[in-house]
Every structure is written in C-alpha cells, then in structure tokens.
C-alpha cells in the first residue's frame, strides 16, 4: 500500500504475517524480515511539495481538498537508474500494463495551525548605572509554554524555538568566540548558513532534548568590550515524537551603561509535524508552521535608589 507510514504498515500486516496470511510482516526492502525485525519496516509515504498548490483544507469538498496519485510502471531497463541534468534523458524502459486500484485518492488537505500557551514568568528589574563601562549585568529567566498543533499533536523533531530582541535593543545573548575573537560557525548544527554558536547558558532546555544554542546573524549583534552579543537565540528539538510542554531558560547580557527601557523579546516557534520516524525524515523534508508570541522579560532601571 502506497502512502502509509512504517508504523501503519506494521499495524496492517503483522498479524496476517504471524497467521500465515501474508508473505511479509510490513512494507520492507528486506524480503527475509520476520515479525521481530521491526527496524526493517519502511514508509511508503509520498513526498509532495505543496508550496505552490491550491489544495484547500477540510471541510472543503474532495475535488478541492483531495490529493490524488497517478502511477506509471516501466520494464525492460537496459541500465541502472541514472542521474542526469535533464530528467527527460533518463531511459524509462517500456511502459508496463500494471494498474493500481481505481482509488487514487491518497490524502486530504487540512488547515494546519499551532498555538503557544505560555505561563507567566517573573518580571525582572535590572539595575545599571551610567558610566559603568566595565561589563554586563546578567539577566536569567524561564519561558514555559505548551505548544498544541492540529490533530492533537505537538512539535516533532527539528522543530525550532527561539527569541529575538527588537531592533535597537541594548541587550543580547553571549556569542562564543575562538582565541582570536572570531565567532564560531553553527551551520552544521542549525542547518543554515550565517549562524553562530552561543554560550551554553544563553538558551538552555529544561525539558526534552534540544541542540546547543545558536544565533542567526541576520538579527544583528552588539559589542560590549570583548564580548559579542547576538540579538537572537535559537535551539532545535532533537527527539522523535511530539513534545507539548517546553521550558527554556535564557540568560541575557545587559551592558552596564545601558539606558532605561523595557526588556522585550519576540518568541517564535517553527514546529514540524511528522507521522513517521527517521526513514521519513531521510526521504521527505519536514513541513513547518510558524507561530509567534511576545514576552516581556523585565525592564532596565538606572541606578535604583537602594532606600526604596
């Protein structure tokens, strides 16, 4: 059956296999697989790029929301499959009269949506004094939220969670540098060029398994002495399976000579929604939805009166 996950394949066929009514326990590339070799099960999910489609979500009728598949089979190939710049140059062999079921309807569009439901966190007052050029004041807080996506799902592997300071903000997240003061590249972790590693305490996860923190340089940086502060901090969720409750601890650096003002952060989550494990990830890119929130961490107070 085309268009089902490895897990669904096991659910459909394993019992028949154990009772002698099926030649394989699940869809697999290993014909000798037994019912205990569940790691050999594969997905037959189709990878479809719908970014330019006009597929509508339910409750639209099937002619507007249904995704169909039409297949062709070939035989008598003379050579192995070949990669060419122009796909029309690949010899496909002779058309083979293999017919699939007339049920070519394989998927239904749904309206994707996710929400963040943050808990209230302490509002912090950060004391600084003009003329203090020597360093920074460290601000630590926690962001707790529940993420809920359609169909009772949370966020899956490779979901991104991050914070961005507004333009002109006089605070940021500490960037890691080498012995020459150069920022450390994070592209192998983030999967994106133009990202740099942050200090481990800049953004730490207190629930689930996440990547080390990194920053997108497009958001900008500021310098405080020898320190580089990024206006952005982000982590990737690394486990398979949906996560719903997220707790992230942040550490912001505020220059000792900052001016009075609010400490605000834009919060964003870019969750992926998957229905299969690692094999689907290797063959199909994830689908993302972007949601945003706002977090008022606290305010910068200039030389507060200790008698108050």
Per-residue confidence band for 284, with pLDDT thresholds at 50, 70 and 90 = low
Please state the pTM of the whole predicted model. 0.69
- Beta-sheet strands, E only, within 65-149: 66-68, 73-75, 94-96, 105-108, 114-118, 124-128, 136-149
Which residues pair with residue 232 across a beta bridge?
164
What is the rounded distance in angstroms from the CA atom of residue 188 to the CA atom of residue 89? 35
Predicted confidence at residue 217, as pLDDT, reads 95
Asked if pLDDT for residue 7 goes beyond 70, the answer is yes
Q: Quick one: pLDDT at residue 219?
A: 93
Per-residue pLDDT at 290: 80
Q: Across all residues in the chain, what is the average pLDDT?
A: 82
Predicted confidence (pLDDT) per residue in 146-196, tens digit? 887 766 566 777 888 999 999 889 999 999 999 999 999 999 999 889 999
pLDDT category at 4 given cuts 50, 70, 90 is confident
Alpha carbon distance 192, 176 (integer Å): 17
Handedness of CA 188, 190, 194, 198 (dihedral sign): negative
Q: Report the alpha-carbon distance of residue 84 to residue 88 in Å, rounded.
A: 9
Q: What is the pLDDT of residue 71?
A: 74
pLDDT at 283: 54
pLDDT higher for 123 or 47? Answer: 123
CA 253 → CA 175, 181, 185, 199, 296, distances in Å?
A: 11, 18, 21, 11, 15
Instruction: Please report the pLDDT score of residue 166 as a whole number.
Output: 92
Q: Which of 74-78, 196-200, 295-299 has the lowest mean pLDDT?
A: 74-78
Q: What is the pLDDT of residue 276?
A: 47
Tell me: pLDDT of 277 over 60: no
What confidence tier does 48 reach under pLDDT thresholds 50, 70, 90? confident
Per-residue pLDDT, 203: 94
Q: What is the dihedral of CA 65, 67, 68, 73, to 10 degrees?
A: 170
């Amino acid at each position: 059956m085309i268009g089902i996950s490895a897990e669904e394949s096991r659910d459909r066929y394993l019992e028949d296999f154990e009772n002698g009514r099926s030649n394989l326990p699940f869809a697999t590339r290993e014909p000798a697989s037994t019912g205990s070799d569940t790691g050999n099960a594969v997905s037959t999910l189709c990878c479809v790029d719908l970014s330019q489609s006009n597929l509508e979500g339910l409750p639209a009728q099937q002619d507007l929301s249904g995704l169909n598949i039409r297949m062709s089979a070939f035989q008598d190939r003379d050579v192995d499959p070949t990669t060419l710049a122009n796909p029309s140059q690949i010899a496909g062999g002779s058309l083979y009269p293999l017919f699939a079921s007339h049920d070519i309807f394989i998927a239904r569009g749904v309206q994707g949506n996710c929400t963040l439901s943050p808990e209230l966190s302490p509002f912090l007052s950060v004391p600084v004094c003009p003329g203090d050029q020597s360093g920074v004041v460290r601000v630590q807080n926690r962001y707790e939220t529940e993420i809920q996506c359609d169909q009772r799902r949370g966020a899956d592997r490779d979901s991104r969670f991050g914070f961005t300071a507004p333009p002109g903000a006089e605070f940021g997240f500490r960037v890691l540098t080498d012995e020459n003061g150069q920022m450390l590249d994070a592209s192998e972790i983030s999967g994106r060029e133009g990202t740099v590693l942050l200090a481990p305490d800049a953004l730490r996860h207190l629930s689930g398994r996440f990547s080390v923190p990194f920053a997108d340089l497009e958001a900008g940086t500021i310098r405080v002495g020898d320190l580089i502060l990024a206006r952005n901090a982000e982590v990737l969720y690394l486990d398979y399976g949906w996560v719903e409750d997220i707790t992230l601890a942040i550490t912001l650096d505020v220059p000792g000579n900052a001016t009075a003002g609010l400490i605000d952060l834009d919060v964003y989550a870019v969750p992926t929604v998957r229905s299969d494990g690692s094999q689907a990830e290797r063959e199909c890119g994830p689908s993302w939805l972007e949601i945003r929130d706002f977090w008022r961490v606290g305010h910068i107070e200039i030389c507060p009166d200790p008698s108050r």
